Chains A and B, each alone.
Chain A
Amino acid sequence: MINFNKTSRYYGDYCALKDISFRVKPKEFVSIVGRSGAGKTTLLKLLLKEEKASSGEILVDGKNIDEIKEKDVPNYRRKIGSIFQDFKLLPNKTAYENIAFAMEAGGRTDEEIAEDVPQILNLVELADKADNFPYQMSGGEKQRVAIGRALVHKPDILMADEPTGNLDPLHTWDIIRLLCRINELGTTVLLATHDREIVNALGRRVISLDRGQLIRDEEKGRYIV
């Protein structure tokens, strides 16, 4: 469903990604690993159309994402749920509102929102924090709100960029378990991380990047530097 074909990305002369090629099948759980600066974030940004590839192509469901028109980008992004190390919650909105806003943005009706948001909050086990603002929640709770928000449009793909980077070990495993659960429910998960323990414990496919190059791609891989 995702197909990177000799994709490169340059920042000026600096090469952040070089000739990256790989495919991801539906319902896969893929970890993208590598040291800081290896190009993991860049790769995810390309997929989300936040950045443009300098050369090569990226196909999603067989369609070149470069050909998506500006006005259809919001629709495209709704197919991909994304979460980040810094959560990217709207600071002025409660947990409930952060999720509801994403649904409103997707043009869902008030009835749908009133029905779905509590369900999502239950799924991420935050029903009792619905009215808390981000500054009133722990890092793990914030990340769970972000995951809940990423799920509102029932995305085919969930991409997580170092989602546990700011969390203590306990919360880290909460989040990883939640991602696995979501994957079991049928969503493709792309997890970018440099956390060796997580990757080794997962025992799923691992794509390793080093200085912008894809150096290893293994089923049931391990984190090897």
Chain B
Amino acid sequence: MFEGFKRIFKWGLKNFWRNGWLSTATVSIMSLTLLVITVLLMLNVVANVILEELENKIDISVYFKLDTSETDILKVKDQLEKLEEVNSITYVSQEDALVKFKERHKDNPILLQSLDELDVNPLEASLNIKAKETSQYASINQFLESVYYQEIIDKVNYMQNKDVIEKLNKIVTDVKAGGLILTLLLALIVFLVTFNAIRLAIYSSREEINIMRLVGAKNWFIRGPFLVEGVLYGVIGTVVSLLVLYPVFYFLSPKLSGFLPIEDIFGYFQDNLLAFFFLLLAVGIILGGFSSWFAVRKYLRR
């Protein structure tokens, strides 16, 4: 049994080596496939960061009437925090609002001067609410519209932003769904390309398989070396694709960080290098092994 395994490995490695250009071609295709898979994964990560970033920019603000006491506002805050949908709430007091306003309009002395001439602070205190999901703003808004709060709330800016929020929400779901479909489709295509490349490689060995049968070799002894070759395509393909991607991400990362919200693509890639390695290895080995196994099967039956 052990001798059998040893022989299968021996022939698998020898065939791989002796099939020189054919192995090179197949490994190239396998590498390309794994490369595409990695890039797709990275694109998904980047897209998710972008979407998250976008979603983070959305919030709704509740403005309280000028005579509302801070305790009342904080009570509302407490109530809101109990809601399932709410992710975070920041309280902006009247004073905070004034400081921010002055900061924002520091180039406009006339406006600041007229503000100083007022005895009271005309800016309303507010709560900035971020929901967990973009789709949840509607229900938070509904909660705020309940009668109990109507007396102290001046306005909720949900209505003004409603269209934007809903549009964004649609974009987020569309991009996520579209990305998933595109990813699966591309992955399927590259899988098929590799599968067929290996089938072609083995097609060129069909006469050999026939001869082995004539010599009285059992099916597992014929199939074994091809399986080893298929797995080898996966292993070498993994190493090659990562060796190619490493410098690519290294040089591309600083150039991309300008217009992508994710600062350090290379850093992310490097941090997850081991995970990528094992993932690609698993994909490569299964893809290579399965393709070989399946392709040889055709010539073993009869």
Contacts and interface: CB of A to CB of B under 8 A. Distances in A.
Interface residues of B, number: 17
B219 to A, nearest CB: 9
Contacts of A102: 215-217
A4 B211 CA distance: 26
Given A75-B216, A78-B216, A92-B18, A104 B211 contact: no
26 contacts: A48-B214, A74-B216, A74-B218, A77-B214, A77-B215, A78-B216, A88-B214, A90-B208, A90-B211, A90-B212, A91-B208, A92-B14, A92-B18, A92-B19, A92-B208, A101-B212, A101-B215, A101-B217, A102-B216, A104-B7, A104-B221, A105-B215, A105-B217, A105-B218, A109-B3, A110-B3
A82 interface: yes
Contacts of A149: 215
Contacts of A90: 208, 211-212
Given A88-B211, A90-B211, A110-B3, A153 B216 contact: yes
A101 B215 CA distance: 9
Please provide the 10 A-B residue pairs with the shortest distance between their CB atoms, ordered closest to farther.
Answer: A105-B217, A74-B216, A77-B216, A102-B215, A78-B216, A88-B211, A92-B18, A104-B7, A105-B216, A74-B218
Interface string B6-17: 010001001100
Contacts of B214: 48, 50, 77, 82, 88
A74 B217 contact: yes
Contact of B15 (A77, A92, A153): A92
B225 to A, nearest CB: 10
A56 interface: no
Task: Give chain B's interface secondary structure class.
Answer: helix
Interface residues of A, number: 21
A105 B212 contact: yes
Interface in A163-215: none
Interface string A37-51: 000000000001010
A48 B216 CA distance: 11
Interface in A56-97: 74-75, 77-78, 82, 88-92
Nearest to A103: B215
A106 interface: yes
Q: Looking at B15, B216, B218, B221, which has the most chain A CB atoms within 10 Å of its CB?
A: B216
Q: Looking at B3, B18, B211, B213, which has the most chain A CB atoms within 10 Å of its CB?
A: B211
Given A74-B216, A92-B14, A104-B221, 10 more contacts: A74-B217, A74-B218, A77-B215, A77-B216, A92-B15, A92-B208, A102-B217, A106-B216, A110-B3, A149-B215
